[in-house]
Amino acid sequence: LDAACRLLAADSARSRTVLDIAFAVGYESLSAFNENFRRATGLRPTEYRRLGKRADFTLALPPGYRSEFVLRLHRRDPNSVLERVEGGKLTKTFTHDARVGWLEMEFCDEQVYVGVSSRPVPDATTMRAAHSLAGRLLGLASDPAPFERKLAENPALAPLLGTRRGLRIPQTADTYEGLTWAILGQQVNLPFAYTLRRSLAELCGATAENGLRAHPTPAQVAGLDYADLTTRQYSRRKAEYLIDTSRRIVAGELPLERLAEMPAPQAEKILLAERGLGPWSANYVMMRACGFADCVPVGDSGLRAALRQFFAREHSPAAAQTLALMAPFAPYRSLAAYHLWMTLGDPA
């Protein structure tokens, strides 16, 4: 429905009806277009057209949506300067066209109210970017139904759902934020990775409000020296990987924002060609930042531990064994991996 969003946004004069746009993107009925558009975006087409008229919008959540998992994800670092969770409200910072902004997302039953603030004040383009960001954070593009049907047909795999029916994969705010996390999270424990993330944001992320900062852009990180990071607990190699990759993005040598539009093998090949990115980090970026449905972050210690626990193995699987154990979940291995990560927090 990306094409529909572009047409709805571009037709500011309203010369084309919603029905015209539905036909233009391949739908044969207005009702089917409205239903699919609302399921994928949380808004009706007419509501999407009105983005920018005011600084808020309300998204309809799919039936059975599990908002507690989104809040749990963003609550993991209580000291984060990039996002904050207070009760049922998530505040997330962003940058768009030199604007520093923040979303305040309040979950209520089957809806989420999204208030948008920015400096300067948000215009229509910023509001559409904020809507896209909200959809990514909610994982609206990740439909769990086919995966859950597949598991229901296999008694050996069905227990993986546990109490998590309806779980979706929230995407990172943008591809660069996902790539940055993949580099920072390599071969360190989670608390230390969060320390590195906060340090980077405090070093070069734009100030938002209430002590929050926006995630640094590729250009901001590309302008750093390695010493800026090594003096903040980064290893020399991690500093090189992050800064050098950011410089390649700025130079147009790494087409980061186009990866999601490519076939998965091509996207993986491009990521693996980058110094410092291996199978784990490439598949993590594809899964969490690009939305690919069938990724296996081979080598991830959490995934290995979860597979050992779920399949009652004596030892955590090596790479080949990980792929073999994950094979029955194809073509939904990304969601299977996300569920497996979640099992590590389940009661014994």
CA distance 116 to 121: 9
Residues annotated as catalytic are 300
Find out whether 329 and 296 touch, Cβ atoms under 8 Å. Answer: no
The tens place of each residue's pLDDT in the chain, 348 residues long, gives: 788 998 988 875 577 899 999 999 999 999 999 999 999 999 999 999 999 999 999 999 999 999 999 999 999 999 999 999 999 999 999 999 889 999 999 999 899 999 999 988 999 999 999 999 999 999 998 899 999 999 999 999 999 999 999 999 999 999 999 999 999 999 899 999 999 999 999 999 999 988 999 999 999 999 999 999 999 999 999 999 999 999 999 999 999 999 999 999 999 999 999 999 999 999 999 999 999 999 999 999 999 999 999 999 999 999 999 999 999 999 999 999 999 999 997 664
Q: Give pTM, 2 decimals.
A: 0.94
Q: Return the pLDDT at 12.
A: 58
Q: What strand order describes the sheet that includes 99-108?
A: 56-60, 111-119, 99-108, 89-96, 83-86
**315: its two tokens:** 């030892």
| Cis check: omega of the bond before 120, within 30 degrees of 0 | yes
**93: its two tokens:** 């910072």
Name the residue among 113, 119, 59 with its Cα closest to residue 89.
Answer: 113
- DSSP conformation letters of 102-121: EEEEEEETTEEEEEEEEES-
Q: Name, in order, each residue with C-beta under 8 angstroms of 80's C-beta and a sequence gap of 6 or more.
A: 74, 194, 197, 198
CA distance 331 to 335: 9
- For the stretch 58-86, pLDDT in tens is 999 999 999 999 999 999 999 999 999 99
CA distance 46 to 33: 12
Residue 86's H or E segment, with its range, is strand 83-86
